[in-house]
Amino acid sequence: MAKAIRFPNRIGKVATHPQFRHVRYPPVGYRILTGDRPSSVTLRDLGRIGTRLIDIATYSVGRTSIWTLAQFLRTRRLLPFGTGEPIFVPSYPVVVGNEPWFIEIEDLITLFDPFVTNGKTARIDIRTNEVFPLVRWLLEHSSCLGILTHIQETKAGLGQLFASKVISAKTHFIRVPYLPDDSVTAPSAPVRRQSGEPLRLFFNNSWHQIPSNFFVRGGLFVLNVCERLVRDGSPFHLIIRSRLPRGIIKRYRSLLSNPAVTVVEGYLDSQSYSSLISSCHVYLLPAARIHVYSLLDAMYQGLAVVTSDGWGISNYVTNEINGLILPGLYGVVSWQSENGQLSEDYDPMRRDNREFEDNLYVTLSRLIDDDDRRAQLAVAGQVFVKRDLSIDRFNAEFGAFLEKIL
């Protein structure tokens, strides 16, 4: 009989992110139940909750303040009551451990949310934060069965940051699989650029379409470089799939009204989005850090990827092989600190960066002139996603992980 795992929807919108599509296709011998089961509270359930609260309160004595403990517990959620199958928690460990659970994360900052947030860790040591011992307790506790990450730096960083053999032993690295939406038709070979045809560039915002993420993903750099390409008379067409911040609309009014630029702000279903991106030649992501599903989606659709050396990106993009990685952002906006934490400062992404933009300008100019090179990168990226990041490959490793922890 297949072993059951529950993937609750109540833990934030992240549960519906495309990155977690793989829960629809579990490894052989397992079934993943999506949604939240009815919360029929029993005396046993209440007893488990009480025990966990006593555990964490006892542990916190001398390690953190009562106020911090209270704030920490206010941000936790009770996992669904019932038969006690393990809970697969996406990204944020908002739990008290009243049922067995395991988690999949990209970076370790999400472990401390909402007390520590991404983009604001460059000048802090997370180990000095008052919730640090509480997160450590949560991860070391026997109710936490395992920690899964698709970024090598996160696996190494967890061991360094917590200096805990228990947490290190629970942590496993598996590359995320790529699964297109069910409605999307598998693309053929990457689009060939016809003689005299402009190079079509694609830039998009995050899945959540938060306007401020336009900067985090390198939108300012893209617009500055495209202004130069327009002045040169270079044959290109930029498609921006994003809501634009008000200041950007005002500053780049002339560029945005140019026929060489198209802005798509409205809702697109999966098929429409797929048709839009697959018509392009190059995907631009000169971002502060990795945005893994955006990268893989572009590769799958047959676009050559031009990205940055931001934290985590080299886990999926190999420079000059399946994409182009431009140096200049690692160590400035994102980096792995000596204590193991991900340090980030997104403020430089809101300012012009002439050196980085020069590099991006030269790179795009070369791709405009050399379509064979662009096509090589596009083919290599598509092969990488289809061959190395298949659901079958992932499930072989995910199944082994589940077998070990359950």
What one-letter code names the amino acid at 187? Answer: P
Give the CB-side neighbour count of residue 260, counting CA atoms within 13 A. Answer: 21
Confidence of residue 185 (pLDDT cuts 50, 70, 90): confident
pLDDT tens digits, 76-92: 876 655 567 898 998 88
199-388 maps to which CATH number? Answer: 3.40.50.2000
Res 236 pLDDT > 90 = yes
H-helix segments, 233-291: 246-251, 253-256, 270-278
Q: 10 vs 176, which has greater pLDDT?
A: 176
- 3-177+390-405 against 199-388: fold identical: yes
Question: What CA–CA distance (Å, rounded) separates 228 from 43?
Answer: 68
Given a cut of 80, is residue 40 above it in pLDDT? no
- What's the CA gap between 349 and 245, in Å, rounded? 14
Residue range 369-385: mean pLDDT, rounded = 96
Q: Is it the case that residue 72 has pLDDT exceeding 90?
A: yes
Residue 47 confidence (pLDDT): 85
In the 8-state DSSP scheme, what is residue 120? B
CATH architecture of 3-177+390-405: 3-Layer(aba) Sandwich (3.40)
Beta bridge partners of 201: 238, 282
Asked if the model's pLDDT at residue 11 lies above 70, the reply is no
Give the pLDDT band of residue 312 (cuts 50, 70, 90): very high
pLDDT beyond 80 at 45: no
Domain spans, the chain: 3-177+390-405, 199-388
The side-by-side arrangement of strands in the sheet containing 171-173 is 30-34, 3-7, 87-90, 101-105, 144-149, 171-173
Beta strands in 206-340 (DSSP E): 236-241, 261-264, 282-285, 304-308, 324-326, 334-336
Mean pLDDT of the chain: 92
Q: How confident is the model at residue 341 (pLDDT cuts 50, 70, 90)?
A: very high
Q: What is the pLDDT of residues 313-338, one digit of tens each?
A: 999 999 999 999 999 999 999 999 99
94 touches 27 (CB < 8 A): no
Q: How far apart are CA 65 and CA 68, in angstroms?
A: 5
d(CA 289, CA 311) in angstroms, rounded, equals 5
The dihedral through the CA atoms of 146, 65, 341, 93 has a sign that is: positive
